[in-house]
């Protein structure tokens, strides 16, 4: 199947990031699914804050938002050419880069914006705006292509389990792992979709099943702790997840809980697929031990929906990503092709 055989009007209509030409409008993912509200960013520090506070989230989406953040930062800078602008914009780029540490797409997008300024003349602002738009457009195209590639791996009638939110909300549109699920549903390959809640922030419960509902795709929500039992019942043949950073050897950082899904999948003979664009590849990082894992406020574990559920005075540990060893991954799907059972050699052949 090629990418264009999918009814994108049905399967790709949610947009988390909108550049109006003046303002960056971010669909506020802290409020979904009950409130559809936007955060309006008018300078780069507002974008950095929105990324840190998870108003916009998901590895590709934070890279795209940061790129538009650079466009906003350019408003406050007078510079003769690209080189001059790069120097003056650097503090704003550093603040954007510091907003979240784990997803490499953030640093990748900022590096692209820096590179775009090299050799730019007096029209450097327009150069930046074109580059941010290109980053967004390329992400959407990559997702649609990966959807077709990943769905092609799935035997018709399969059940799939996904984790976190990897859909339109986490990208320029369509999604990575959720793009594969959308394509697999459109092709009639996927029989049933399960989504884990994804404690503590509930990306699965608040965002993923909502996104699928918008498309008319039935999904079944499970508690994260039900995953191994679900696999034991034989209801799922694939776990399909996204990624925040994939190292040179295939080790993959993704939402906390992904690693235990990979272990459980291997134990039960369930296949494990990671879907991510090349902007998520970090060939400069040898393996997962080198990845900085974001730690968030332990307070995120003390309640649900603003209601405290834990007694006062309890300690909590809140790492929000973990690393799945490449050896537990059956396929990494990228827009450049599929890497089965990733190794350093295979990753180098694909990504240099």
* Binding footprint of ligand MRU on the chain (CB under 6 A): 57-60, 103, 164, 166, 170-171, 176, 203, 242-244, 254-255, 320
Q: Is 3 a catalytic residue?
A: no
Is residue 203 a known part of a binding site? yes
HSE value, Cβ hemisphere, 13 Å, CA-based, for 21:
0
> Which lies closer to ligand MRU via its Cβ, residue 202 or residue 350?
202
> Which lies closer to ligand MRU via its Cβ, residue 254 or residue 334?
254
The Cα–Cα gap between 26 and 31 comes to 12
| SS3 letters across 84-150 | HHHHHHHHHHHHHHCCCCCCHHHHHHHHHHHHHHCCCCCCHHHHHHHHHHHHHHHHHHHHHHHHHHH
Cβ count near 348 (within 10 Å): 12
Q: Which residue is nearest to ligand MRU (CB)?
A: 242
> Which lies closer to ligand MRU via its Cβ, residue 55 or residue 92?
55
> Which lies closer to ligand MRU via its Cβ, residue 84 or residue 294?
294
Q: How far is the CB of 209 from ligand MRU (least distance, A)?
A: 15
Is residue 296 a known part of a binding site? no
Q: How far is the CB of 329 from ligand MRU (least distance, A)?
A: 14
Q: How far is the CB of 68 from ligand MRU (least distance, A)?
A: 17
Is residue 57 a known part of a binding site? yes
- Sign for the CA dihedral angle at 338, 342, 348, 352 comes to positive
Classify burial at 325, counting beta carbons within 10 Å of its beta carbon; exposed 0-12, middle 13-18, buried 19 or more.
middle
Among 139, 215, 244, 251, the one annotated catalytic: 244
Is residue 245 a known part of a binding site? no
Secondary structure of residue 296 in the 3-state scheme: coil
Q: How far is the CB of 170 from ligand MRU (least distance, A)?
A: 4
Task: Indicate which residues carry an active-site annotation.
Answer: 244
Question: Which residues are annotated binding-site positions for substrate?
Answer: 57-59, 100, 203, 254-255
């Amino acid at each position: 199947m090629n990418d264009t055989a999918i009814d994108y009007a049905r399967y790709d209509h949610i947009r988390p990031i909108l550049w109006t030409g003046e303002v960056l409008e971010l669909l506020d993912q802290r409020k979904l699914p009950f409130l559809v509200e936007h955060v309006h960013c008018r300078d780069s520090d507002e974008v950095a804050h929105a990324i840190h506070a998870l108003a916009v989230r998901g590895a590709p989406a934070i890279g795209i938002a940061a790129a538009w953040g650079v466009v906003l930062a350019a408003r406050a800078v007078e510079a003769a050419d690209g080189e001059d602008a790069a120097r003056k914009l650097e503090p704003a780029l550093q603040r954007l880069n510091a907003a979240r540490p784990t997803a490499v797409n953030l640093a990748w997008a900022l590096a692209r914006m820096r590179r775009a300024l090299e050799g730019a003349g007096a029209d450097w602002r327009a150069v930046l705006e074109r580059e941010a738009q290109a980053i967004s457009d390329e992400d959407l195209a990559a997702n649609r292509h990966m959807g077709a590639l990943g769905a092609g791996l799935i035997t018709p009638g399969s059940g799939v389990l996904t984790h976190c939110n990897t859909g339109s909300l986490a990208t320029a549109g369509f999604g990575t792992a959720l793009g594969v699920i959308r394509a697999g549903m459109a092709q009639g390959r996927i029989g049933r979709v399960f989504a884990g809640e994804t404690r503590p922030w509930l990306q699965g419960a608040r965002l993923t099943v909502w996104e699928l509902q918008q498309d008319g795709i039935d999904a079944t929500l499970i508690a994260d702790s039900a995953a191994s039992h679900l696999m034991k019942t034989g209801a799922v043949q694939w776990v399909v997840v996204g990624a925040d950073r994939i190292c040179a050897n295939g080790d993959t950082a993704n939402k906390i809980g992904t690693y235990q899904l990979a272990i459980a999948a291997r134990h039960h003979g369930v296949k494990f697929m990671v879907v991510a664009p090349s902007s998520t590849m970090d060939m400069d990082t040898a393996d997962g031990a080198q990845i900085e894992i974001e730690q968030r406020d332990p307070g995120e574990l003390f309640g649900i929906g603003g209601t405290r559920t834990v007694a006062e005075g309890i300690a909590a540990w809140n790492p929000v990503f973990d690393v799945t060893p490449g050896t537990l991954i059956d396929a990494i799907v990228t827009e450049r092709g599929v890497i089965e059972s990733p190794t350093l050699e295979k990753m180098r052949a694909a990504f240099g």
